[in-house]
Amino acid sequence: MIKDKRTIFDKLISVKEIEENEMLGKSGKDKLIKILIILITISLSTFFFSVHFNKRANESILSNVVPGYIWPNQTLKANYSFSIFKDELVYKKEVKDAEDKVMPVFIQNFEVTTKLEKVIDSVFSKYKTDESVLSLKQNKKTKLIDVKQKAPAIDIKLIEKAILNISQIIYKGGYIDYSLDNIPIDGISVKVDEINEKLISKNSIYDNSSFKKFSENYLKSRLNEKEFKIAIENLENCIHPNLLLSNKLTNQAKELANLSVPRTIGIVRQGEIIIAKGQKATEETIRKIVSYEYTKQIKNEPKVDFLMILGALGHSTLLYSILIFYLYYLRKKIFYSNFSFGLLSGALLLSAFLGWLSIEIPTRFPLEYLVLIPGLSMLVAILYDSRTAFYTIVVMSITLAGIRGNDYDVGTAMLFSGTLAAFTVRDIQSRTQMFISIFYIFIGFIVSIVAFGLERSLDTIQIVYKLSFSLVNSAISPLFTYALIFIIERVSNLHTDLKLQEYSNLNNILLVKMSEFAPGTYQHTLTVSILAEKCANAIEANGLLAKVGAYYHDIGKISKPEYFVENQGELFNKHESLTPKKSAELIRNHVIDGLKLAKEHKLPQRIIDFIPMHHGTSLIKHFYAKALEISGSSVLEGDFRYTGPKPNTKETAILMICDPAEALSRLENKTAEELDDILTKNINDKLLDGQFDQCNLTFNELKIIKDTCLKHLTGIRHKRVEYKEIPIIDKNEKK
């Protein structure tokens, strides 16, 4: 019987305890996941700091040092002698030029020429036994005349001689099994024996195409039509290429040409000054600096490999900890959400990876200005807030600069343009607004690139290259952000202000139902939403979130609207026939029903939070007081409290204040001063009751919220002038 008589509140407490126990069980898993995220982020960042597959990575790192660059560091002196290496692209071009000048190597096939006559005789043997081409007998004069009249005679000997003459001309220079168009130089090399080679001019050799063309012209001038046809049909069976391309010998020749290209252009002696502080860099000094760093890397690599990795580990951990400390102390909700924490860590890793790629790809173009830090900063600002975005930008920019070998220029450029990008979307109202950021991102790049370019005395072409790549970044970043937001909103419970805009439509099915079944609650909701938005804007909170949250905070009243005074009108108050405890239970159930409806209609969690938090764990005072009048001290206060949780954001706390404020404003015959006192008392009661313990509202913000409520509610309650009616005047009396 005791179990059957448990109150709804007792049941809720029991369910809550079970959920808390489940959460405690999950917390262990959450911690493991969070530790795993941290370890992966630090490990990969360390990899990007310390591992480079491009052995010329130092050239990419020193890409800002161009002719005219003023060396800002201390005078650089060589601690040991080293060779001056050529620029990688210059060296590769020289190697390619050397390989292009290599003559293709052919092997001579002597068998083709020695057996030529036998081959020709064999090919045309069938024609020599054919009666149609034999000499005709004298006693058949009539037939001979007929044949001569019909066609000229065919002389096989003449055909054979013509083909033999062609072969002598063709083989004098050589006939190759390769296209002349694929030979870029003026000749070929022919391997005579194991030691000797001979060079043949390109003009004296034939390939398949030129052989056919020459043969046709030669045969046409010496044979009749029938003979020409027979000769052409059998030509390729008689004459074959006598010079065969050897890929093996050609590749060997190219390798020798490759090795013959010098890798260095000089040497720097130990103790020699490479570049002095304040000195302008030249092509020569740049090559010395790059070669010195490259040599240092080669010399020290086996000795300091472990120490370098250990230092990179400390470097990446130090930078990552800035973001972790910020989230832990100032954004606990993000920190304790593994998805949000992982998302920010992923953004950091993506920017680090792109920075690493800008070094690994061997090019002289400023690929570092394609790192999508502005796009990532916009994403964080839209999903969370501009302050979180700024801290993330700082960590990403410093990490990028560190990976690129303390590249201060690009780090500052990304920090400035990323900050502008984040602040342009802090109050975003539509998706098209993101594309306005293109202009601001590019302005950020222009200012930083031009400023550093002037300071470093960079060539105009270098500045133009950087601006061109930054323009591409500016254009891609909003598209990148838009795509990521689209994906994130569909795979997670994170919803941006852009998504909230969709729920601000009063034609939403839940709001339409409320207007139909609980019209009083609907009107109350509209007023509270306006009030909450104004209060949120007054303290620089999220006005859109406060407004939309207010729209849905009382949707649970749709289930039993008649138990709420704003929907009763002139109807009988059903609470008159109920005990105070039962009435409190029915009132409290609108939160439970609201949560159920919200989940059925898949409302975003940011909106759902307003349903239980706008009451928190506050006391249902009217029925508690009524119960005390009836039963005295035996009444349990817990039976008359909402189940919570308490507000944990400024926006939900604002709604907790505005919701009763709108109801209190309906009290008749209350002056502005009396209304001020009532609002102040209501806020103080909730403050003393601990309802604002979990949100970060200050006392000054509470005062601003109260004053905003009072100002708006006073405007609603303003008195209207009673207009006079026009009196009816008797026309006869007027006369």
Give residue 25's pLDDT: 43
Q: Which residue has the higher pLDDT, 315 or 716?
A: 315
Q: What percent of the chain has pLDDT over 90?
A: 36
Q: What does the block give as tokens for 326?
A: 């910020």
Q: Is the predicted pLDDT of residue 147 greater than 90, yes or no? A: no
Q: Which residue has the higher pLDDT, 321 or 142?
A: 321
Q: Is the predicted pLDDT of residue 153 greater than 60, yes or no? A: yes
Give residue 725's pLDDT: 66
pLDDT tens digit string along 535-593? 999 998 989 999 999 999 999 999 888 888 777 766 677 777 788 888 888 889 999 99
Banded pLDDT at 684 (limits 50, 70, 90) = very high
pLDDT tens digit string along 222-252? 888 888 888 888 888 888 898 999 999 999 9
Q: Is the predicted pLDDT of residue 303 greater than 70, yes or no? A: no
pLDDT tens digit string along 57-74? 655 556 666 677 777 667
| Range name among 164-178, 243-257, 417-431 with the lowest pLDDT average | 417-431
| Residue 708 CB partners (closer than 8 Å, separation 6+) | 531, 534, 535, 538
- φ/ψ of 106, rounded to 5, equals -115, 155
Mean pLDDT of all residues in 184-213: 87
**Residue 152, preceding peptide bond in cis (omega within 30° of 0):** no
Q: Could you tell me the residue ranges of all domains in the chain?
A: 8-68+329-494, 98-257, 499-716
Q: Is the predicted pLDDT of residue 443 greater than 70, yes or no? A: yes
Residue keyed to tokens 């009435």 = 583
| Range name among 4-13, 145-154, 402-411, 596-605 with the lowest pLDDT average | 4-13
Q: Are 474 and 372 in contact (CB under 8 A)?
A: no
CA–CA distance, 37 with 85 (Å, rounded to integer): 42
| Residue 458 CB partners (closer than 8 Å, separation 6+) | 66, 68, 69, 452
pTM of structure: 0.63
Q: Is the predicted pLDDT of residue 723 greater than 70, yes or no? A: no
C-alpha angle 170/171/174, rounded to 5°?
Answer: 90
Fold of 499-716: Hypothetical protein af1432 (1.10.3210)
Give residue 377's pLDDT: 95
Q: Is the predicted pLDDT of residue 316 greater than 50, yes or no? A: yes
Mean pLDDT of all residues in 381-404: 93
Mean pLDDT, all residues of the chain: 83
pLDDT tens digit string along 511-550? 999 999 999 899 999 999 999 999 999 998 989 999 999 9
Identify which of 63, 74, 84 has the alpha carbon closest to the alpha carbon of residue 276.
74
Q: Which residue has the higher pLDDT, 143 or 702?
A: 702
Q: Which residue has the higher pLDDT, 611 or 490?
A: 611
CB-side exposure of 451: number of CA atoms within 13 Å?
12
State the sign of the Cα–Cα–Cα–Cα dihedral 529, 532, 538, 543: negative
Q: Is the predicted pLDDT of residue 264 greater than 60, yes or no? A: yes
Q: What does the block give as tokens for 448?
A: 């930083």
Q: Which residue has the higher pLDDT, 289 or 518?
A: 518
Give residue 656's pLDDT: 94
- φ/ψ of 89, rounded to 5, equals -70, -40
> SS in 3 state form for 465-508?
HHHHHHHHHHHHHHHHHHHHHHHHHHHCCCCCHHHHHHHCCCCC
Highest mean pLDDT of the ranges 433-437, 439-443, 484-488, 673-677: 439-443
Banded pLDDT at 27 (limits 50, 70, 90) = low
Q: Is the predicted pLDDT of residue 13 greater than 50, yes or no? A: no
Query: Is residue 269 classed as helix, strand or coil in its secondary structure?
Result: coil
Query: How many other β-carbons are positioned within 10 Å of the β-carbon of residue 729?
Result: 8
Banded pLDDT at 129 (limits 50, 70, 90) = low
